């Protein structure tokens, strides 16, 4: 079972539907015991970084996520959820994240339209079983105004080009981030979710 962290991050029905379609059992929860008993964790995200971290702290979920990450449980952060895995965000101030990955989030280059909304292709950088069955230059769906600006290049699995290189998939062992929405990315997104499920 995959625990989808429920901290008021918006409508995640499409994510649950996509996981079911991918053959993966999931449960929306903020119960600490349920999260500990899960096989994997998805941290979704819509909204502001600081509000999300405040909600995670208030629910006592910050330390749980850090403990489960340290224990090697597969964790997938989607969109804002990916940014929350990092040290810092500069969205409307400077805020601490979960510090599971080293790097920071910042606003997308203003030379392009912000927010970034639409389909963009994936360029591959490092090998990962997450990419099994997915050809390079496959399209996925993005909706975001902030992105990871500094990161370990060895953890960059794929990127897209939008006002410069935007990390699209990152991975450090059991920790994975997807800046786009796999649940809104058609067959490619379903394959990515299945590949995550294969890690459990």
Q: Which residues are catalytic?
A: 79, 181, 183
How large is the C-alpha radius of gyration of the chain? 15
Measured CA to CA in angstroms, residue 189 lies from 15, 44, 66, 96 at distances of: 10, 14, 26, 29
**What is the Cα–Cα distance from 168 to 123, expressed in whole angstroms?**
9
β-strands 75-78, 175-178 pairing: parallel
- CA gap 117, 127 in Å, rounded: 27
């Amino acid at each position: 079972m995959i625990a989808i962290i429920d901290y008021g991050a918006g409508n995640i029905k499409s994510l649950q539907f996509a996981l079911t379609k991918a053959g993966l059992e999931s449960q929306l929860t903020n119960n600490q015991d349920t999260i500990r008993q899960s096989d994997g964790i998805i941290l979704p995200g819509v909204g502001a970084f600081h509000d999300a971290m405040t909600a995670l702290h208030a629910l006592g979920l910050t330390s749980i996520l850090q403990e489960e990450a340290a224990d090697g449980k597969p964790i997938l952060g989607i969109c804002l959820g990916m940014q929350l895995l990092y040290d810092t965000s500069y969205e409307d101030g400077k805020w601490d994240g979960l510090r599971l990955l080293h790097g920071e989030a910042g606003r997308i280059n203003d030379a392009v339209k912000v927010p970034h909304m639409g389909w963009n292709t994936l360029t591959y950088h490092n090998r990962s079983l997450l990419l099994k069955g997915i050809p390079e230059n496959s399209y996925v769906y993005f909706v975001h105004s902030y992105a990871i600006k500094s990161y370990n290049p060895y953890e960059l699995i794929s990127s897209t080009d939008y006002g410069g290189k935007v990390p699209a998939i990152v991975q450090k062992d059991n920790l994975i981030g997807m800046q786009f929405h796999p649940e809104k990315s058609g067959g490619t997104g379903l394959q990515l979710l299945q590949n995550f499920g294969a890690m459990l």
